[in-house]
Amino acid sequence: MAWNPTELKDWQIAELAEAAGAIPSTEKYMEMMGLQKDEIIPYGKTPKVDFLKVMDRLKDKPDGKFIEVTAITPTPLGEGKSTTSIGIMEGLGKRGVNVGGALRQPSGGPTMNVKGTAAGGGNALLIPMTEFSLGLTGDINDIMNAHNLAMVAMNARMQHEANYTDAELAKRGLKRLDIDPKNIEMGWVLDFAAQGLRNIIMGIGGKKDGFMMQSKFGIAVGSELMAILAVAKDLEDMRERFKHVIVGYNRQGEPVTTGDLEVDGAMAAWMRNTINPTLCATVEGQPCFVHAGPFANIAIGQSSIIADRVGLKCFDYHVTESGFAADIGFEKFWNVKARLSGMTPNVSILVATVRALKMHGGGPTVVPGRPLPDEYTKENLGLLEKGCENMVHLINVIKKSGIKPVVCINAFYTDTPAEHALVKRIAEQAGARAAVSEHWLKGGDGALDLADAVMDACKEEVKLQFLYPLEMPLRQRVEKIATEVYGADGVDWAPLAEEKAKRFEADPKYADFSTMMVKSHLSLSHEPTWKGVPKGWRLPIRDVLVYGGARFLCPMAGAISLMPGTSSDPAYRRIDVDVHTGKVSGLF
């Protein structure tokens, strides 16, 4: 049944759905997914799945259809990718097919701030919402412990090297790493938006109080270890990657790694349980894995390769979501995730809203927490048609990959039939299937047309074509992405960035590192205020970050903060717990 999301909050719908028995029992999960008893790891309402056992048993089973969800360039409010991911699962479920999916685990920062939990919304919602939103099975906590252990190891080593001679170090089985305190790559992590910790001084005190140095905090989901969890194929692969995480550089400019600190094994021990994905469900009972939650701007921004591998064996249709818009999330799904995993996607759903398209057509600035201007709540076909340029551009990006595009017009109650008809017509003229979907309002019943369009698209053969070959040098890759995905006229490299790029290109060690662009998600360009499809611009690259364990090179087309800030009206002001029942209210 569908509840009325215009009267009920998300947490209230989640509570009603749980009470109605929407969360499958362990036995029901086993029946729906074809799992055996020893392949389920009990954990309250949210069991984990032993992926190694499942993959070993089902290794010869053909994969199901693979559906990716991305979006047009969004407003700061987001356009409903998670809601649509859950909605298409529900719609396919209504059509009677075996369907499931994989979503990223939400971070405590956005959950307690202005963005919310990424559990979808309305009748396209993931449950149990409280467990999903507040730590789930502890994966993020394990990542924090493993990451911060590396920082403990580095600072302790710097303290001991400052206090002891080489002879004294040798007695303890140590050699001098000579870490440069002014060239530290790593910082601490915390899973809240704590801007006051972005830059700190640590080690204040005496010789026994740690090495005094400038340091920093980032948000936990921005940790390289989270990115490693997303791209690792198994525990062995993850363990090997932990050896190569760069914590800083020595005074000769050479990288110092977690392997050099001999902390990589202990980090893997902390994260041993994170390797198995967790099971949640939609409010209509479809299974959905939750696994990993990496940033989409500096990392891959996808749920894990592991969750998708298992999902493709367990479901006839498997849905996965990419972070941010198609110029970032889909590009990384296409050229990185699909390449690393060897999995062939069938369909990419491009989520579009009338609100965002009007913004791209020249509508007023959209500000979180403030009422929407009238242009967004009243019919304006001229503004909408001009803004469809952004949608058409991203349809063409998806088509370049060989993956079939399906536009989901994510309906808001303020939209008009004429506006929906206009967007649908333009999308179809651009070569995409298109459907209006009311999953937020009606759940699976509102996503039937979308489900039909997706199933129809899945019947067509896909000839996946990557944008660039792996042997292409870094600067040429960036040029390709900038011109063919973003629509830039070219790339301008700052001297420091070009120097680094040349060094990486000359070293065979970096030849197969993935290219992870760092760019604003609010525009096709690097400038967030440039809406629509900007013309006559060049992409400036100011630096290149390196993640040795994840094996990423990250060209930076703008500044990036790994620690968000908390707003003046954060969600935590409205979140509470009933002391008599233990039920949490206020999540959204």
Could you list the residues known to form a binding site for ATP, using ranges: 75-82
Q: Considering the candidates 83, 117, 282, 353, report the single residue annotated as catalytic.
A: 83
User: What torsion, rounded to 10 degrees, do the Cα atoms 50, 52, 56, 59 define?
Assistant: 100
Neighbours of 359 (CB within 10 A): 28
Residues 6+ away with beta carbon under 8 Å from 581:
none
Residue 412 designated active-site: yes
Burial class of 440 by CB neighbour count within 10 A (0 to 12, 13 to 18, 19+): buried
* Residue 323 CA: distances (Å) to CA of 60, 360, 435: 30, 20, 22
Question: Which segments are annotated as binding site?
Answer: 75-82
Burial state string for 51-81 with b = 16 or more CB within 10 A and e = fewer than 16:
bbbbbeebeeeebbbbbbbbbbbbbebbbbb
φ, ψ of residue 48 in degrees (nearest 5) = -95, 165
Distance between terminal CA atoms of the chain? 20
Q: In the annotation, is 81 catalytic?
A: yes
Is 37 among the catalytic positions? no
Q: Is 490 exposed, middle or buried (0-12, 13-18, 19+ CB in 10 A)?
A: exposed
Residue 281: is it exposed, middle or buried by C-beta count within 10 angstroms (0-12/13-18/19+)? buried
Give the Cα separation of 303 and 332 in Å (integer): 12
**241 tagged catalytic:** no
Buried b (16+ CB within 10 A) or exposed e, 94-126: bbebbbbbbbbbbbbbbbbbbbbbbbbbbbbbb
Task: Sort strands 433-437 and 404-410 into parallel, antiparallel or unpaired.
Answer: parallel
Alpha helix positions (H), 271-416: 305-314, 331-332, 338-341, 354-360, 381-400
CA separation for the pair 254, 526 (Å, rounded): 31
Q: Cα separation of 185 and 202, whole Å?
A: 15
Bond prior to 128 in cis (omega within 30° of 0): yes
CB atoms within 10 A of CB 392: 18
* Annotated catalytic residue within 3, 289, 324, 504: 324
Catalytic residue among 48, 115, 404, 477: 115
289: annotated active-site residue: no
Please identify which of the residues 296, 299, 434, 453 carries the catalytic annotation.
296
As a three-state string, the secondary structure of 219-271 is EHHHCHHHHHHHHCCCHHHHHHHHCCCEEEEECCCCEEECCCCCCHHHHHHHC
Q: Is 330 a catalytic residue?
A: no
Q: Which of 48, 65, 104, 358 is catalytic?
A: 104
Rg of the Cα atoms in the chain: 24
Dihedral (C-alpha) 465, 530, 569, 353: value to the nearest 10 degrees?
A: -60
Catalytic residue, chosen from 48, 81, 239, 332, is 81
Catalytic residue list contains 440: yes
The torsion defined by the Cα of 220, 222, 228 and 229, in degrees rounded to 10, comes to 50
Catalytic residue, candidates 412, 493, 513, 552: 412
Nearest residue to 80 (alpha-carbon basis) of 572, 494, 447, 460: 447
**What's the helix, strand, coil split of the chain in %, to 5?**
40, 20, 40
Active site residues per annotation: 81, 83, 104, 115, 296, 324, 412, 440
